[in-house]
Amino acid sequence: MKNIGSYPNVRMRRNRKTDWSRRLVQENSLSANDLIWPIFLTEGKNVKESIRSMPGVYRYSLDKIETLIERAIKKNIPMVALFPNTPISKKNAKGSEALNRNNLVCKALKLIKRNYNEIGLMCDVALDPYTDHGHDGIVKKKSVDNDETIKVLIKQSLIQAEMGCDVIAPSDMMDGRIGEIRKALDKNHFKNVQILSYAVKYASNFYGPFRDAVGSKRSLIGNKKDYQMDFNNSKEALREVALDISEGADFVMVKPGMPYLDIIKSVKENFKIPVFAYQVSGEYSLIKNAINNKIIKEEAIIESLISFKRAGASAIVTYFADSIANRLK
């Protein structure tokens, strides 16, 4: 950076002296428009079930979903993401429940779309909430079969679109799935359904509480390193994003979030496409537990979310969305 002055003529603290001055020169801001609220669904009636590893986050039965949607709309949260906690009895090796038109996600979509059109609905496309082995696809010879999995993901995407999903969000990390899903959606008259690709999803240690929430942690056999990205790599992320954009992605996701701010920034600088960040369950739980134990102040939530905006994120999937939206202007 070119030297543009020196002390004492230049005093950087002058612009920081008052609140009004700090607001005038603020480079980044956060509003409810930047937030996507993940909601966990479970079977039963009148259920609000706490998730031990995610304090302040709950699984909700479908009879409570309309109240949550009304709350999100009132707080100006533009989109919610739906994730199911599938009973063990409905899981199998093929993840067949993902294609059940009466599964939790499909029921929620129909229920919400019956009365609410002013909020976006995002649906995860992957098989891990539905498989008894906890992987995102069809396992053959101890490995997830890429092409066989895509066939199922296409069917899952079409069913979700039919039920009213606005944003299909493949999180599986199969090669080529974005292009195949886009072609299938267009062919079946869902050309306006958007695709949010989890283009950059690392094989991370920060996913544990989420797997508790959807009930896949105990069932997971092995790990996901042969399809999710190696956290040592960054240039590979740009190749993944470039491929998914070429195949028809409307937005791309970087997941996890805070440990990968450099990736968000790099993707934003290299591609003129909306980049979303996922502040994943492990990030949430670390911050929330530190606040609950008075190790850090609650203001750390906003600080963490602003870091995504500073890196270039257009929107943030965060479990803090519901609790902080009212505090944002």
Q: Which residues are catalytic?
A: 201, 255
| Burial group, residue 129, by CB count within 10 angstroms (0-12, 13-18, 19+) | buried
Question: At residue 325, what are phi and psi to the nearest 5 degrees?
Answer: -55, -40
Estimate the share of the chain in helix, then strand, then coil, as percent rounded to the nearest 5. Answer: 40, 20, 40
Bridge partner residues of 196 (DSSP): 251
Closest CA to 319 of 212, 227, 193, 194: 212
At 315 the three-state DSSP class reads strand
Give burial (CB, 10 Å; 0-12/13-18/19+) of 273.
middle
Place of tokens 């199969």: 174
Q: Are strands 251-255 and 194-201 parallel, antiparallel or unpaired?
A: parallel
Instruction: Look at residue 52 and give its three-state secondary structure.
Output: coil
Sequence-ordered list of residues with C-beta below 8 angstroms from that of 141, at least 6 positions apart, any chain? none
Q: CA separation (Å) from 182 to 101, 124, 185, 283?
A: 20, 15, 5, 31
Q: 107: part of which helix (H) or strand (E)?
A: helix 104-115
Cβ neighbours of residue 79 closer than 8 Å, sequence gap 6 or more: 36, 37, 119, 120, 121, 122, 166, 167, 315
Calpha distance 119→113 (Å, rounded): 9
Cα separation of 151 and 181, whole Å? Answer: 9
